[in-house]
């Protein structure tokens, strides 16, 4: 009896479309005919509000209970991660055209002791794997089952959301933010203006060259008290909370 459009991305901004304008036309048509439009970012909402007054933002959240397991002192580290020396800086998720290889390379070159660990599938043709594998302190571990991710996050000193700044990422509120925070980790995130509201909680480098200093700040500012504050923030951003919204 009703049409609800849950809009999670600026779909027309994904690479590979023959004509992005056609995709945007479909999006506009759906936005107009929906009885309710729920967007996952403010930028998505502001773009659709002129087409439909019943447009609201409900941010992405996290399965906090799952990622809280990273704080369990009895949880073992996965063997492939334990074989990599600390400190480890983790990137978890689908690695595609959004991944800022310049930023990852800047971190790898800034401190050879930092071990950058990418967990998750890599979209063929969208990520310069050759460039990443050139560095001895960048490790591509591939996809891992979701229940194993807390063990990997437990072994990280900090977590990364290294996205390139473009029209696609301008509209993204990443799922992984509250997952990382639920694990208590310091977070360094770039290319995502929607995360500006968390300045002071996470580090927000403005460009790839700013990542090393942002990471130094994140690591230097870490403490048990900060970890508890991150977990508390994540606990206010569960999917149950979003259902209530």
pLDDT of residue 99: 96
Rounded Cα gap, residues 197 and 210, in angstroms: 19
* Residue 203 exposure: Cα atoms within 13 Å on the Cβ side: 24
Angle at 185 between CA 216 and CA 6, to 5 degrees: 115
Q: Are strands 36-39 and 4-7 parallel, antiparallel or unpaired?
A: parallel
Rounded Cα gap, residues 99 and 91, in angstroms: 10
pLDDT of residue 182: 97
pLDDT of residue 17: 83
What does the pLDDT look like over 119-139, one tens digit per residue? 999 999 999 999 999 999 999
User: In a structure prediction context, what are the per-residue pLDDT tens digits for the chain, which is 245 residues long?
Assistant: 999 999 999 999 988 888 999 999 999 999 999 999 999 999 999 999 999 999 999 999 999 999 999 999 999 999 999 999 999 999 999 999 999 999 999 999 999 999 999 999 999 999 999 999 999 999 999 999 999 999 999 999 999 999 999 999 999 999 999 999 999 999 999 999 999 999 999 999 999 999 999 999 999 999 999 999 999 999 999 999 999 98
Would you call 31 exposed, middle or buried from its count of C-beta atoms within 10 A (0-12, 13-18, 19+)? buried
pLDDT of residue 134: 96
What does the pLDDT look like over 31-79, one tens digit per residue? 999 999 999 999 999 999 999 999 999 999 999 999 999 999 999 999 9
Give the per-residue SS3 of the chain. CCCEEEECCCHHHCCCCCCHHHHHHHHHHHHHHCCEEEECCHHHHHHHCCCCCCEEECCCCECHHHHHHHHCCCCCCCHHHHCCCCCEEEEECCECCCECHHHHHHHHHHCCCCEEEEECCECCCCCCHHHHHCCCCEEEEECCCHHHHHHHHHCCCEEEEEECCCCCHHHCCCCHHHHHHHCCCCEEEECCHHHHHHECCEECCCCHHHHHHHHHHHHHCCCHHHHHHHHHHHHCCEHHHHHHC
Rounded Cα gap, residues 185 and 219, in angstroms: 10
pLDDT of residue 16: 83
């Amino acid at each position: 009896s009703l049409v609800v459009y849950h809009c999670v991305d600026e779909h027309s901004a994904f690479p590979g479309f023959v004509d992005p304008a056609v995709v945007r036309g479909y999006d506009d048509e759906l936005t107009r005919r929906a009885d309710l439009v729920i967007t996952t970012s403010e930028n998505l909402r502001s773009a659709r509000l002129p087409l439909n007054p019943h447009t609201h933002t409900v941010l992405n959240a996290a399965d906090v209970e799952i990622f809280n397991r990273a704080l369990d002192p009895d949880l073992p580290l996965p063997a492939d991660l334990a074989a990599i020396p600390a400190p480890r800086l983790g990137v978890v998720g689908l690695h595609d055209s959004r991944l800022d290889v310049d930023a990852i390379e800047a971190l790898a070159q800034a401190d050879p002791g930092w071990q950058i660990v990418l967990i998750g599938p890599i979209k063929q043709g969208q990520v310069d794997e050759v460039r990443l594998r050139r560095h001895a302190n960048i490790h591509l571990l591939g996809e891992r089952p979701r229940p194993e991710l807390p063990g990997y996050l437990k072994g990280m000193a900090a977590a990364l959301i290294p996205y390139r700044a473009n029209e696609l990422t301008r509209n993204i509120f990443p799922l992984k933010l509250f997952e990382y925070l639920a694990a208590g980790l310091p977070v360094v995130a770039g290319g995502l203006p929607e995360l500006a509201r968390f300045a002071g909680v996470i580090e927000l480098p403005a460009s790839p060259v700013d990542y090393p200093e942002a990471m130094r700040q994140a690591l230097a500012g870490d403490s048990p008290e900060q970890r508890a504050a991150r977990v508390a923030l994540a606990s206010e951003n569960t999917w149950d909370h979003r259902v209530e919204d």
